Amino acid sequence: MNQRKLEVTYQPFERTTRVPPGTTLFSAAHWIGLPIDSTCGGRGTCGKCKVRVLQGATEVTTADHRQLRKDEVDSGWRLSCQARIYEDITCEVPQLLRVPKAATMGLSRLVIIDPNVRKVFLELAEPDLHDQRSDIARLRDALSAEGHEMSAGVAVLRTLPKVLRESSFKITAVLAGDHLVAVEAGDTTEECFGVAFDVGTTTLVGTLMNLRTGMAAAVRSTLNGQAPYGADVISRISHAMNGQEAIDDLKTAVVSTMNGILTELYREAGITPERTYEAVVVGNVTMLHLLLGIDPTPISVMPFTPAFMDALSVPASEVGLRIHPAGYVQTLPALGAYVGADIVSGVLATGIAREDKVRVFVDVGTNGEIVIGSSQRTLATAAPAGPAFEGSQIKCGMRATDGAIEGVQLGDTVELQVIGGDVPPQGLCGSGLVDAVAQLLNVGLLNHSGRMLSAAEAPDHPLASRLMEVDGVRAFLLAEGVYLSQRDVRELQFAKGSIATGIKVLMDILGVDPSDLDEIFLGGSFGSYLNPESAKIIGLVPPVDVDKIIAVGNSAGEGAKIALLSYRERQVAFELPARIEYIELSGRTDFNDAFVSVLGFPNLELVG
């Protein structure tokens, strides 16, 4: 994976990037956010992405012959989307003739609106005895003249004779990639939608996107209908082990949940499923297996091998998703059995691996998924954290719902932030747990080995009265009936220790230390609630300035929307598995060694 890289420089911008051999000039430019004109999105058919090679060389391709004049080819012009880089190259990019439509998405990323789904209004020549082309050839020729290549399935052929003749051959062709999804009477180019799904083990989020404007038309989230089969990935897999019928149950459950979301999205936006042509779906590897009815069992046992980790494009009808019946479901690729399309999507949304900045992305949950690196080199891994961050295995732990303490501030008194506002505190969710431990460390009631002081050991502490024993175990009373026990602290130590170790192993491989880190992104819903300061105090993340620790929200959903709106960005997502090295922690001796060393809490005065 640690490939030789080649250097490409784009003039007149003086922008340089290093890419693996075989990357196209178009893709490499896009990777660093430099827009090259294109209406076909890099398929070699529109001819607009031409650049002039000044130093180095790329082969002349068939598409160059088709789209460029001979004198252009001779003087070094190439279609950048076809020109593959096999040596260092400098090329000149012509000024953009039009300002591409763009939107700010994900983490301040400017995304060119250039969706995989395209609508083309055409007034076809009507057939006569001198022009007896078949309906599909007539359509193909007209699309080709506008730079779109196309292949058609039987479903759309069945509609063609009638639609063409009823509309007097004035129609709108709907393309998803180069698949002809539909042919619609008249000009329907204004009505073009797609849906982005983040399929979480717990929660599903669907966003209906207007692919013409790039704006969200409606958003809905709901619990995953697979919940009755278990709360986490492993219990879902356990159910799947009962055979194909059980797998189909799980598939039906999640597809029904998605279709429920779609119904609400369509109602809110006032559109029909027939105007929604594509769904981009991200989720962890198990969720995507179950969505497609594929046995996830081997994911749960050594050596953890999924059936697939590729980006799949599957007919919506085969998935059972209620969008246009000839539409497609597109998944993003995964990096490993436990670093799924949701993380790839998060990487896409945050721009990691494409800039010079060295950044850490952590999505904390039952597993901690970790991505660290820059455009030079990027690594990923998953560290098993156990259920502590989900509020499970914690004495007074609970899910992040009404009544859960999600924030703790200790000083002379105890200040609590409780989900639901005025309700009395009923327990402690993951972010509250992290806060409580961090604050106890801060006020000196917990030492760096994780040992909680007894009231006798800190008699003068303003919070001493809250130090108690429950069933013979030390504990700190947070609210009536809600306390944090010494055992809870140990659980958290193991959970954060595992993730911290994963981060450390990757940083060691990369050869970077905390002072090299430009940013740390906390992903996932847990990351949104986590107090960055607390995460740093307990040593979940490396010790960096707290303003470098940034919660990036539902970055998986953001990435899915980006991939839906931008074919170029989608290509970037497809390339990420080849660009990011996956590190398996199981069986690594350095993991075990490091684990022991980070079980305690850091002395930030020493490192900070």
Binding residues vs a second copy (CB under 8 A):
22, 59-62, 65, 84, 86, 127-138, 152-155, 157-158, 160-162, 165, 244, 292-295, 297-298, 302-310, 312, 314, 318-319, 336-337, 582, 584, 586-587
Cα separation of 196 and 453, whole Å?
49
What is the rounded CA–CA span in Å between residue 302 and residue 515?
Answer: 36
Q: Give least dist CB 480 to a second copy, A.
A: 48
Which two tokens mark 530? 């986590």
| Shortest Å distance, C-beta 149 to a second copy | 14
Nearer to a second copy, 146 or 584 (CB): 584
Minimum CB distance to a second copy, residue 554 (Å): 26
Q: Which is nearer to a second copy, 69 or 267 (CB)?
A: 69
Which alpha helices (DSSP H) does 511-546 contain, by range? 524-529, 532-537
Measure CA of the first residue to CA of the last residue in the chain; give whole Å. 34
Dihedral angle sign, alpha carbons of residues 320, 323, 326, 329: negative
CB of residue 459 vs a second copy: minimum separation in angstroms?
A: 52
Helix (H) / strand (E) element for 356: namely none
- Closest approach, Cβ 248 to a second copy, in A, equals 10
Quick check: helix, strand or coil at residue 491? helix
Which CB, 127 or 260, lies closer to a second copy?
Answer: 127
**Minimum CB distance to a second copy, residue 28 (Å):** 16
Beta strands in 125-259 (DSSP E): 151-152, 170-176, 179-185, 193-199, 203-210, 216-223
Closer residue to a second copy, CB minimum distance, 183 or 408:
183
CA distance 418 to 432: 9
Residue type, 492: L
Instruction: Find the shortest distance in angstroms from Cβ 247 to a second copy.
Output: 8
Task: Considering the complex, state which of residue 99 and residue 129 has its C-beta at the smaller distance from a second copy.
Answer: 129
Q: In the complex, what is the shortest distance from the CB of residue 306 to a second copy, in angstroms, rounded to a whole number?
A: 5
Helices (H) and strands (E) in the chain, counts: 18, 29
- Whole-angstrom distance, CA of residue 58 vs CA of residue 85: 6
Q: Considering beta carbons, is residue 213 or 313 the nearer one to a second copy?
A: 313
For 357, the enclosing helix (H) or strand (E) is none
Q: Is 597 exposed, middle or buried (0-12, 13-18, 19+ CB in 10 A)?
A: exposed
d(CA 87, CA 489): 55
Of the two residues 290 and 358, which places its CB atom closer to a second copy in the complex?
290
If the CB atoms of residues 8 and 311 are measured against a second copy, the closer one turns out to be 311
